């Protein structure tokens, strides 16, 4: 942290003592996990800076935007269309949390056997540790898994600013109509809170911004197919995590710069590990920042993670929006179709997901899959069966864990044994 932000944090109502403790723990974890890596690309310097200022400089930017009249919109799920937020001149921030924080506070409201992601976003708010939640004008929830649906009711009681989009469970014609209607309603909601009528031009500009961000992430994903891998899984994961916080134009520029450097590495055969290192895809539940646990264990055991089949990863950028629209209504139709291509395990059936994983394995030349579910994340825990069945010929390991460090030893033993079978 470059400056003293105490006054800003105080103004946002954070618990200063606990917050200082959290930043201390995060900074130590970052040094141990990230800064100790060998052969890091120079382009990661920008992302190191973003992390060091994640509760500082970025919050200053957000509060400045707010002062200028822009609305700050917090989201938890890929289904919330960023294009509509940007078209209304809003700032879109991902609020999912990946650290075991405020658990005892959260458990006063929700059961112990709730997934770590839900507990963490409740915990961060209740313990007074999240400057992002405090800066938001609107928090957009969605009817995906049961845990989130019910948690948003409580979260609204606490924050008084939750708006929920209804997401269907299936993708039939009727469901598509329902979802299109939800997208239209969300546009109206954004117009209401921003006081700005969204025009065709606004949607064109916003769609181009979000597509460019997706294209930069796709470029990064493709570069990871090289052997030796030009970037570690940990670093690539970080870029995918930062995508939910950063200014989208700057993020795209810096990711493209990183990719240009990686392209040179690939040309010269330079990698972060030796050619032939076991290549792993991590697939399943979202991997919210600062959840670096499984990547750290996997790469610390001598493998390289080459892809994340996750919302923080492929699911976020796999499909571009078709920008070929000429009216606002047509744009909303294209937006609603694009978002329904997301293959979240909350849908039934969800046959696209195993097929998408299969293509990803082929494209990245992966040697094995670690199917990762957060404990109590029923959709992904259940869907592991179907994924494994579809990917019969690929070494596959199921793993359930949370954000605690207690099972690190056990996970390491299992991952090492899995890598032995691949070798
Ligand atoms: S896993 Fe599903 S519900 Fe969770 S963020 Fe991703 S798309 Fe949304
Ligand atoms: S990780 Fe699973 S249980 Fe947790 S919020 Fe996402 S879909 Fe729901």
Do 320 and 211 touch, CB atoms closer than 8 A? Answer: yes
Do 272 and 37 touch, CB atoms closer than 8 A? Answer: yes
pLDDT tens sequence across 200-248: 999 999 999 999 999 999 999 999 999 999 999 999 999 999 999 999 9
CA of 41 to the centre of ligand 1 (A): 30
Nearest C-alpha to atom 8 of ligand 2 is from which residue?
145
Residue to substitute in 74, 75, 79 for testing ligand 1 pocket (most ligand atoms within 8 angstroms of CB) = 79
Nearest C-alpha to atom 5 of ligand 1 is from which residue?
77
**Mean pLDDT in residue range 69-84:** 98
Alpha-helical runs (H) found in 166-318: 173-194, 200-223, 233-242, 248-268, 293-300, 314-317
Under the phi-then-psi rule, with left for phi > 0, alpha for psi from -120 to 50, and beta for the rest, what region is 140?
beta
Task: State the DSSP code for 241.
Answer: H
Alpha-helical runs (H) found in 115-199: 116-126, 131-135, 146-159, 173-194
Which residues neighbour 169 within 8 Å (Cβ) at sequence distance 6 or greater?
A: 175, 346, 347, 348
Number of other CB atoms surrounding residue 420 within 10 Å: 11
Ligand 2 lining (C-beta closer than 6 Å) = 115, 117-118, 144-145, 147-148, 285-286, 374, 377, 379-380
Give the atom of ligand 1 at the shortest distance from the alpha carbon of 96: 5
Confidence bin at 423 (pLDDT 50/70/90)? confident
pLDDT tens sequence across 359-396: 999 999 999 999 999 999 999 999 999 999 999 889 99
Sign of CA dihedral 341, 342, 343, 349: negative
Q: How many residues does the chain have?
A: 423
Confidence bin at 22 (pLDDT 50/70/90)? very high
Number of other CB atoms surrounding residue 144 within 10 Å: 20
Helix (H, G, I), strand (E, B) or coil at 400: strand
pTM comes to 0.98
pLDDT tens sequence across 250-304: 999 999 999 999 999 999 999 999 999 999 999 999 999 999 999 999 999 999 9
The pLDDT score that the predictor gives to residue 300 is 97
The pLDDT score that the predictor gives to residue 383 is 98
Instruction: Give the N- to C-terminal CA distance of the chain in Å, as an integer.
Output: 42
**Mean pLDDT in residue range 335-341:** 98
The pLDDT score that the predictor gives to residue 348 is 98
The fraction of the chain above a pLDDT of 90, given in percent, is: 98
Mean pLDDT over each residue of the chain, to the nearest integer:
97
Give the atom of ligand 2 at the shortest distance from the alpha carbon of 380: 2
Confidence bin at 140 (pLDDT 50/70/90)? very high
Assess whether the C-beta atom of 342 lies below 6 angstroms from ligand 1: yes
CA of 31 to the centre of ligand 1 (A): 29
Nearest C-alpha to atom 2 of ligand 1 is from which residue?
344
Helix (H, G, I), strand (E, B) or coil at 207: helix
From CA 188, how far away is CA 185, in angstroms rounded? 5
Assess whether the C-beta atom of 297 lies below 6 angstroms from ligand 1: no
């Amino acid at each position: 942290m470059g400056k003293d932000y105490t006054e800003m944090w105080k103004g946002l109502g954070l618990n200063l003592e606990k917050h200082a403790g959290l930043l201390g723990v995060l900074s130590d974890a970052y040094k141990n996990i990230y800064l100790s890596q060998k052969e890091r690309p120079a382009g990661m310097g920008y992302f190191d800076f973003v992390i060091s200022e994640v509760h500082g400089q970025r919050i200053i930017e957000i509060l400045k935007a707010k002062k200028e009249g822009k609305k700050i919109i917090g989201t938890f799920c890929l289904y919330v269309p960023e294009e509509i937020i940007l078209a209304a001149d809003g700032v879109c921030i991902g609020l999912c949390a990946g650290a075991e924080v405020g658990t005892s506070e959260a458990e006063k409201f929700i059961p112990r056997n709730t997934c770590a992601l839900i507990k963490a976003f409740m915990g961060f708010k209740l313990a007074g540790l999240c400057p992002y939640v405090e800066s938001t004008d609107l928090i957009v929830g969605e009817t995906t898994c049961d845990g989130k649906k019910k948690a948003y009711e409580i979260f609204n009681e606490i924050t008084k600013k939750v708006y929920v989009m209804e997401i269907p469970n299936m993708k039939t014609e009727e469901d598509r109509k329902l979802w299109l209607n939800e997208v239209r309603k969300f546009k109206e909601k954004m117009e209401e809170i921003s006081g700005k009528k969204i025009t065709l031009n606004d949607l064109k500009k916003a769609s181009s911004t979000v597509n460019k961000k997706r294209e930069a992430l796709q470029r990064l994903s493709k570069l990871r197919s090289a052997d030796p891998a030009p970037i570690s899984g940990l670093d690539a994961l970080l870029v995918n995590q930062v995508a939910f916080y950063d200014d989208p134009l700057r993020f795209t520029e810096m990711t493209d710069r990183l990719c240009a450097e990686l392209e040179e590495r690939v040309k010269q055969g330079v990698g972060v590990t030796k050619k032939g290192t076991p290549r792993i895809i991590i697939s399943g539940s979202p991997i919210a920042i600062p959840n670096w646990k499984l990547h750290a264990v996997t790469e610390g055991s001598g493998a390289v993670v080459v892809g994340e089949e996750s919302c923080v990863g492929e699911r976020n950028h796999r499909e571009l929006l078709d920008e070929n629209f000429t009216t606002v209504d047509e744009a909303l139709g294209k937006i609603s179709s694009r978002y329904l291509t997301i293959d979240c395990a909350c849908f039934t059936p969800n046959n696209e997901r195993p097929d998408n994983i299969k293509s990803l394995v082929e494209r990245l030349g992966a040697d094995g899959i670690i199917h990762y579910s957060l404990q109590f994340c029923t959709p992904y825990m259940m869907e592991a069966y179907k994924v494994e069945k579809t990917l019969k010929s690929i070494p596959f390991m199921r793993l359930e864990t949370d954000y605690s460090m207690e099972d690190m030893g056990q996970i390491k033993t299992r991952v090492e044994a899995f890598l032995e079978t691949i070798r």
